[in-house]
Structure 1
Amino acid sequence: MLHLRAIVPREKSGAVRRLLEAEPGVTHLVVWPGVAVSPPGDVIACDIARESANLVLDDLRALGIDEDGSIALENLDVSLSRSAREAESDAPGEGADAVVWEQITEATSEESTFTVTFLAFLTIATMIAACGVLLDNPILIVGAMVVGPEFGPLAGLCVATVQRRRGLAARSAFALLAGFPIAMSLTMAFTWLLTWSGDFDKSMLEGDRPQTSFIYQPDWLSFWVAFLAGVAGILSLTSSKSGALIGVLISVTTVPAAANAAVAVAYGDLSQAGGSLGQLGLNLGAIVVAGTGTLLAQRYAWSRTHGKHHPGVPGLRRD
């Protein structure tokens, strides 16, 4: 279940109340007349089944509540109520399959912005991966996968493509296009520093590395692994399931490939650097294609199930 709180101008309060009362997936409706101060108006709150959230949000926006008042939506971890169970049962579809578009747009918008924190995590992940590839240590590679934050802007690109949000697309692309080169440059400096200290050596890069050689050898298997990981990552995002393990899969040949490329350039091995960059590009592309396709399929399935006029608010369209 989701909890909705809206500040509604007094003249639109009746229409919003009728809208919510007509939606079978809405329950626990509460109206506080005139209590909102900024902006002024009524406060209306209710609980909504996930599968009904898009319908309600679309209608509230059609009434202009996002312009004249406010709309807030949050997850309910626990709701012990017979009426809540009935609302979830009456709402068409399954909550686990529902995609709350405004929710995932907000989430990806925040996580896809190029910030100092994003760059710090990406750089640290790339440096950890550099240690992993030179030591041929899969444990360090997994550690870099967990730290890597790059799924945020990748998911942002997918959502921006489907929702046609140019601003989100630009922010996501900039985070990737600026973040990876900076992280790789800092990792090159890190490699030179540890080489100077005697902890790294070029022979570690060119020696036999059976555990990590896949990182600089792109092939179709790498593409399909990244493709499947992209599908799983988007499903994890849209269904509000835990994405921790998905994040590991998403990072498997992105951050490690960037790290291997940085180390290879630092040691002048341009052939291995080229293979690593090819692996990085291949997997970033596969993830975006898979994620975008998954979102398009989910949007199509949602429109087939829910593309109807609202029974209680004439004139409001469901696209």
Structure 2
Amino acid sequence: MHLRLIVPAEQSAAVLSALDRDFRVTNVVLMAGAAVRPSGDLVLCDAAREAVTDVLAGLRQAGLLVDGGVTLSAIEAAPSANAHAAEEAAPGSPEDAVVWDAVLDQADTQVGGSWSYYAFLTIAVILASIAVVTDSAVLVVGAMVVGPEFGVVTALALGIALRRPRLSRRALALLVKGFLLAIGIALACALAARAVGWVHPSSVSADRPLTGFIWRPDRWSAVVAVIAGCAGVLSQTAGRSNALVGVFISVTTVPAAGDLALSMSVWDSRQIMGSLTQLLLNLAGMTLAGIITLIVQRRLWRRTAAVAATG
């Protein structure tokens, strides 16, 4: 990974010395006096992914995360011999290393509660409601992909696993507010559709071979939620966001919310309870799986680092 550091001038010598002594760091560059705000020297370096957490810990102890600046970015390729040497000096595999500072920073962004989060979640829930009316599996998948809730679920799991109560509270509040708003707007749309004759009680109670599973949670719903939660957290901590698409179309959170809104518009109590149970089951399963995955990751990596230090 590439690190761009803004270092107060009086600390540059110590920071450069620490980076130079670490064989997992390479391509160290100093541009004295280049930084304007905050003022200081600009230091650039590349570090093996496995070493980034240690490097950041040292920078934090030096106060650089408060008095200076740190920016991380992934490197797509580094074919030079010095980069390979830095990677070989680092213990473990880069795919197993988690840059916790980057993961936490991303989680803080996810729980910001932007208008786009509410908009995408609302659109996804409305799409899911239409999928129920039309019994369309294609629309169900579309709603799953549009839904942005998994990042917030990951943030909730991260806050609990790393004992960050503020992060957990913000994530939980955003999940509750987001789904309440999305279900409320979808319910209003469903009531309007019912008023003009587009939706009837039979639209919900009729046999739906392609979407009936949404309001019928079973043991497999819990299994899928747990597996998807593990896969989703691993994809985010390992920087493999392409795997998230598979997670999105595996869990039934957004479809359950859409079914809940539609069932409430015709007041089908059986489907209301079924879809609500499905929604809560998926959220709980993903969160629990995320917590366990994160705890296991931390322990495995600490063991790897300890073995490397003694070896």
CA contact 1:236–1:246 (8 Å) conserved in 2: no
CA separation in 2, counterparts of 1:212 and 1:87? Answer: 52
How has the CA–CA distance of structure 1 residues 183 and 155 changed in structure 2, closer, same or farther, with 3 Å as cutoff?
same
- Offset of 1:100 from its aligned partner? 0.5
Q: 1 CA distance for matches of 2:233 and 2:246?
A: 9
Counterpart in 1 of 2:80?
A: 81
- Offset from partner CA, 1:91-122 (integer Å, 9 cap, x none): 11111111010111111221222221111100
Show structure 1 runs of 4+ deviating over 4 A.
Answer: 307-310
Preserved CA contact (<8 Å) 2:98 2:237 = yes
Cα distance in 1, alignment partners of residues 23 and 235 from structure 2: 26
What is the aligned partner in structure 2 of residue 302 from structure 1? 301
Aligned counterpart, 1:245 = 245
Greater alpha carbon shift after TM alignment, 14-23 vs 268-277: 14-23
1:16 alignment partner AA? V
Q: Distance in 2 between matches of 1:178 and 1:39?
A: 37
Q: Which residue of 2 aligns with 1:95?
A: 94
The one-character-per-residue Cα deviations of 1:176-227 (angstroms, maximum 9, x if unpaired) are 1101011101111111222233332221110101222221112221101100
CA distance in 1, matches of 2:87, 2:102: 19
Identity %: 40
Tell me, in whole angstroms, the C-alpha distance in 1 between the residues paired with 2:20 and 2:225. 44
Q: Return the alpha-carbon distance in structure 2 between the equivalents of residues 269 and 116 of structure 1.
A: 31
Q: For 1:248 and 1:153, how far apart are their aligned partners in 2?
A: 13
Matches for 1:1-319 after TM superposition, within 5 Å: 2-241=1-240, 242-249=242-249, 252-307=251-306
Mapped to 1, the partners of 2:249 and 2:124 lie a distance apart of 14
Deviations 1:52-71 (A, max 9, x none): 11010111101111122111
SS of the equivalent of 1:96 reads coil
Q: CA deviation at 1:308?
A: 8.9
Label 1:244 to 1:294 Cα distance change in 2 as closer, same or farther (>3 A).
Answer: closer
Structure 2 counterpart of 1:305, one-letter code: T
Shift of 1:291: 0.5
For structure 1, the residue ranges without an aligned partner over 5 or more in a row are: 311-319
Contact 1:112 1:175 in 2 (8 A): yes
What's the offset of the Cα at 1:309? 11
Taking the aligned partners of 1:136 and 1:309, their CA distance within structure 2 comes to 55
RMSD: 1.8
Structure-2 separation of matches of 1:35 and 1:187: 53
CA positional deviation for 1:35? 2.5
8 Å CA contact 1:236–1:243 kept in 2: the answer is yes
Q: Contact (CA 8 Å) 2:25, 2:48: kept in 1 or not?
A: yes
CA distance in 2, matches of 1:206, 1:167: 42
28-37 vs 94-103, greater mean Cα deviation: 28-37
Distance 1:204 1:114 in 2: 34
Q: Is the 8 A contact 1:229 1:249 kept in 2?
A: no
What amino acid does structure 1 have at the position aligned with 2:298?
A: R
Query: TM-score if structure 2 supplies the norm length?
Result: 0.94
Q: Secondary structure at the match of 1:97?
A: coil
SS in structure 2 at match of 1:7: strand
The two structures have a TM-score, normalised by structure 1, of 0.92
| Alpha-carbon displacement from aligned partner over 1:141-183 (angstroms, at most 9, x marks no partner) | 0000000000011011011112222222122111111010111
Aligned residues: 309
**8 A contact 1:26–1:48 mirrored in 2:** yes
Structure 2: tracts of 5 or more residues without a match:
none
